Amino acid sequence: MELYDLGDRPPLGEVPEKMHAFLVRQDRFGEPKDAWQREVIDTPEIGPLDVLVYVMATGINYNNVWAALGKPVDVIADRQRKGEPEDFHAGGSDCSGIVFAVGDQVTNVHLGDEVVVHSGWWEPEDPWVLSGRDPMLAESTRIWGYQTNYGSYCQFARAQSHQCQPKPKHLSWEAAGCYLLCASTAYRMLMGWSPNVVEEGDYVLVWGAAGGLGALALQIVTANGGKPVAVVSDEEKRQFCLDHGAVGVINRNDFDHWGPMPDTSSKEWGQWFKGARAFGKAFWEAAGEKASPRIVFEHPGEATLPTSGFLCATGGMIVICAGTTGYTATLDLRYHWMRQKRFQGSHLSNDEQAAAVNRMIMDRKVDPCLSHTFSFDEIGEAHQQMYENRHPYGNMAALVNATEPGQGAS
């Protein structure tokens, strides 16, 4: 058959010519609810080390808000410049599903395996990758389903076989599909930058603690013996954070010193410093003692980085994976060098880190924090809610080939 309905599964290995997918096109870049549209497209070919995954459920991630807006990068033009012909972006960077077809050099997964897919993608022939060093630092590295096409908003997603991890059996398709991008990113940030990794008793300041990354960070810190202090903007999120391991919670709306740090010789800087010190006091109150965070888990960026830098403990690390509020970084360098702090960029994860956090999920040390399950046709709306920061806490999913929520757990 040329095209199957979602949920109507063809015999394993018999790949239909066409498939359903949610796409962005350049002429509709803008609000995610309009940019993301359902279409029927050709099912992609796979290479020798690729797999085609029959997607049961997909996670919803912030990167595809950026893809919808067409900024800061037009991912379609970017790929076309690299020689790819498609004039659309079929995104999605997280999924649970069934291995449906495999390339002829694939050995780590087999037809019918139930998997989750992490989103670290790199050229198998990249000399850096072949040298055995961290592939996330390779020139060819891309984020699957954001910088590559045919991600998890497709009926059949194309991935590299190394991206596959076993699906935790106790989870439904949607709970399994919602977490790996944020979980693996949070894991690398917290456990990947030795010697600044979470150790017993360490305080960790977690911005956006009820968000996708934050909810997982709270639990990873706790599972490693650390003490997370959560930051939120809404009192209603307080209990959620406490339930997921936070030792205390700070409401950022109690402060107003946000944005780039003013010039240190200006009058405005004094005002900013007062705000930062008050935030530091709130941290002590949340922690229950006069302590500083050994790690600051950053992603808002421009708005919060100066405060993160001020609070970070001597010899500690501010680790950052995004600049949701802006890309201009300001830090008081006096505190940075005198107190020998580290400012570390971090991006997604390698296979080992994805496997390590997936094991924590399989061992039930970390919960995916599935907040809401959308239907396939609501993929645009899910991104719109995220764009407007009015989405539910934790991680969201959408059903793809799963026909109802709750299927897939055993």
Ligand X SMILES: NC(=O)c1ccc[n+]([C@@H]2O[C@H](COP(=O)([O-])OP(=O)(O)OC[C@H]3O[C@@H](n4cnc5c(N)ncnc54)[C@H](OP(=O)(O)O)[C@@H]3O)[C@@H](O)[C@H]2O)c1
Size, binding site for ligand X by CB under 6 A: 31
Residue number with CB closer to ligand X (45 or 236): 236
237 is a site residue for ligand X (CB under 6 A): yes
Residue number with CB closer to ligand X (247 or 303): 303
Residue number with CB closer to ligand X (61 or 401): 61
Q: Give me the sign of the Cα torsion angle 106, 109, 112, 115.
A: negative
106 is a site residue for ligand X (CB under 6 A): no
Q: From the CB of 39, what's the least distance to ligand X, in Å? A: 24
| CA–CA distance, 386 with 242 (Å, rounded to integer) | 22
What is the SS3 assignment for the chain? Answer: CCCCCCCCCCCCCCCCCEEEEEEEEHHHCCCHHHHCEEEEEECCCCCCCEEEEEEEEEEECCHHHHHHHCCCCCHHHHHHHCCCCCCEECCCCCEEEEEEEECCCCCCCCCCCEEEECCEECCCCCHHHHCCCCHHHCCCCEECCCCCCCCCCECEEEEEHHHEEECCCCCCHHHHHCCHHHHHHHHHHHHCCCCCCCCCCCEEEECCCCCHHHHHHHHHHHHCCCEEEEEECCHHHHHHHHHCCCCEEEEHHHCCCCCCCCCCCCHHHHHHHHHHHHHHHHHHHHHCCCCCCCEEEECCCCCCHHHHHHHCCCCCEEEECCCCCCCCCCCCHHHHHHCCCEEEECCCCCHHHHHHHHHHHHCCCCCCCEEEEECHHHHHHHHHHHHCCCCCCCEEEEECCCCCCCCCCC
Q: From the CB of 65, what's the least distance to ligand X, in Å? A: 7
Residue number with CB closer to ligand X (79 or 238): 238
Residue number with CB closer to ligand X (252 or 294): 252
The encoded tokens of residue 142 equal 């891309």
185 is a site residue for ligand X (CB under 6 A): yes
212 is a site residue for ligand X (CB under 6 A): yes
Q: From the CB of 216, what's the least distance to ligand X, in Å? A: 9
Q: From the CB of 194, what's the least distance to ligand X, in Å? A: 19
Listed in sequence order, the residues at least 6 apart from 261 whose beta carbon sits closer than 8 Å to its beta carbon are 269, 272, 306, 330, 331, 332
CB 310 within 8 A of CB 181: no
* Interface segment toward ligand X; rule CB under 6 A; list 10-18, 168-176, 273-281, 297-305: 297-305
* Interface segment toward ligand X; rule CB under 6 A; list 121-129, 163-171, 181-189, 402-410: 181-189
Among 252, 294, 372, 383, binds ligand X (CB under 6 A): 252
* Interface segment toward ligand X; rule CB under 6 A; list 5-13, 45-53, 100-108, 295-303: 295-303
Among 164, 181, 317, 360, binds ligand X (CB under 6 A): 181
Q: From the CB of 27, what's the least distance to ligand X, in Å? A: 24
The letter for the amino acid at 193 is W
* Interface segment toward ligand X; rule CB under 6 A; list 177-185, 221-229, 282-290, 369-377: 177-185
325 is a site residue for ligand X (CB under 6 A): yes
Q: From the CB of 67, what's the least distance to ligand X, in Å? A: 10
304 is a site residue for ligand X (CB under 6 A): yes
Among 176, 232, 360, 398, binds ligand X (CB under 6 A): 232
Residue number with CB closer to ligand X (48 or 326): 326
Per-residue x/- marks for ligand X, 35-64, CB under 6 A? --------------------------xxx-
- Please name which of 375, 367, 380 lies closest in space to residue 397, comparing C-alpha atoms: 375
Residues numbered 339 to 368 that lie near ligand X (CB under 6 A) are 347-348
210 is a site residue for ligand X (CB under 6 A): yes
- Please name which of 265, 263, 304, 267 lies closest in space to residue 283, comparing C-alpha atoms: 304
Among 1, 139, 170, 233, binds ligand X (CB under 6 A): 233
* Interface segment toward ligand X; rule CB under 6 A; list 32-40, 130-138, 170-178, 298-306: 298-306
Binding positions for ligand X, rule: CB under 6 A:
61-63, 181-182, 185, 207-208, 210-214, 231-234, 237, 252, 299-300, 303-304, 321-322, 324-325, 347-348, 386, 389
